[in-house]
Structure 1
Amino acid sequence: MAEPAHSGTRTQRVVVHSLVVRLTHWINAFAMVCMVMSGWAIYNASPLFAFRFPAWATVGGWLGGSIAWHFAAMWLLVGNGLVYLAHGLATRHFRRHLLPVHPRDVIHDAQLALTFRLPHQTGVYNAVQRLLYLVVLLLGVLLVASGLSIWKPVQLAWLTDLFGGYEVARRVHFAAMAGVAGFVVVHLALVILVPRTLPSMITGRARRIVHGGSDA
């Protein structure tokens, strides 16, 4: 349905996010939060560095409970990721929305973002967003692979060896988790700065300005 805007233009509600994209987005958000918070509890039981995460930022209550939360969230994340991957390939979602990513475009859009001059159209990803989404997808794969090598270092010895050993795999897993947590912080900050992006991830639709012409 279109509504009049100003001379020569009109606004129209269009689909910007499919149902599958919206569902997998929110399931991913839930699974990631559960994995990070339970992972922090597991980390606290055997810290890699000279700090621990506060108890309020963890879930599970005790090591066994946190491990149960962690693996439940992991399988949810893996299953959801496979659905998203299949959908993205079948509908060409990746090609249309996340590719290509050129370094020159990323630098250009990053400069505009830092000076608060980056234009935004709901449902259209700029070069920085495309790069961040691709990076977080790769971090998700790295999280699962390194997590499996830590979980089954004997049965999956080849995978653990690929990471350079159990202790190295733990550090890789921690670094990937930190990367995902950083992505979540940036993502939430962008939502706060551009709040109109949130409703479209719930309803799937957003208003866009169409220039010229009248309704056919």
Structure 2
Amino acid sequence: MSSLTVNDRHTAAATPAKVIQPAWVRTLHWINAVAMVLMIMSGWQIYNASPLFDFTFPKTITLGGWLGGALLWHFAAMWLLMVNGLAYLALGLATGRFRRKLLPITPEGVISDARAALTGKLSHDDLTKYNYVQKLLYAGIIAIGVLVVLSGLAIWKPVQLQYLTALFGGYDVARYVHFICMAAIVAFLVVHVALAVLVPKSLRAMIIGR
């Protein structure tokens, strides 16, 4: 019995760990994370210069120091996010990752997995597969990412991109859309980080891939 156990251990040690997150996913993921944090913090400073609602964000969580500085940070992060995001979308489609990871999404599956998550019965053993709630969240955040970029462009160049601005219902409406999308991204990041803390092996996979 002991020899079998030793052999099993040698076999397990000799078998390479399965790659869960390929290198390109990990690289683009962390670049996106940095760009998004920079955009959110500088975006809050821009918002403070002309608030949409009866509140402003504390200066300790904003970036840029003043409107001009915040705009410089925001535009720099915007180009980084756009280029990196386009690379992520192109590779995700070309490699079939989106199809394998995000499809299918069914209402029944989402309801079932949401109920299991709320009762603490949702399994996280197989990190190679997303549950239906994850599929919905990841597909949704990709769509919101596209929308936040388009609404941002409509705000940035309302004259040059007047047709895009008009699609949002005008400059003022585009600002509200941009803010709501930003709020949705922040909410996603909070949930995302919380789940990474609760399931640390998922964070480990996004760092070393295995």
The equivalent of 2:12 in structure 1 is none
The 5-angstrom pairing of residues 44-63 of structure 1 reads 44-63=48-67
The equivalent of 1:214 in structure 2 is none
1:64 aligns with 2:68: yes
Show structure 1 runs of 4+ deviating over 2 A.
Answer: none
The equivalent of 1:17 in structure 2 is 21
1:109 aligns with 2:107: no
User: RCO higher in 1 or 2 (8 Å CA, sep ≥ 6)?
Assistant: 1
The equivalent of 2:201 in structure 1 is 196
In structure 1, runs of 5+ residues without a counterpart are 6-10, 206-216
The equivalent of 1:150 in structure 2 is 155
The one-letter code sitting in structure 2 at the alignment partner of 1:56 is: T
Q: Which has the higher helix share?
A: 2
Q: Distance in 1 between matches of 2:170 and 2:114?
A: 37
1:134 aligns with 2:134: no
How far residue 4 of structure 1 moved from its aligned partner, in angstroms, is 4.1
1:74 aligns with 2:81: no
SS at match of 2:200: coil
In structure 2, runs of 5+ residues without a counterpart are 1-6, 10-14
Q: Distance in 2 between matches of 1:12 and 1:72?
A: 40
Q: 1:103 to 1:49 in 2, by over 3 A?
A: same
Q: TM-score, normalised by structure 1?
A: 0.89
% identity of equivalent residues: 61
The 5-angstrom pairing of residues 76-95 of structure 1 reads 76-95=80-99
The one-letter code sitting in structure 1 at the alignment partner of 2:182 is: M
How far residue 123 of structure 1 moved from its aligned partner, in angstroms, is 2.8
SS at match of 2:63: coil
Aligned pairs, number: 199
The Cα offsets for residues 14-63 of structure 1, whole Å up to 9 and x where unpaired, read as 01111111111101111110010000000000000000000011011111
Q: TM-score, normalised by structure 2?
A: 0.91
The one-letter code sitting in structure 1 at the alignment partner of 2:64 is: G
The one-letter code sitting in structure 1 at the alignment partner of 2:78 is: M
Q: Which has the higher strand share?
A: 1
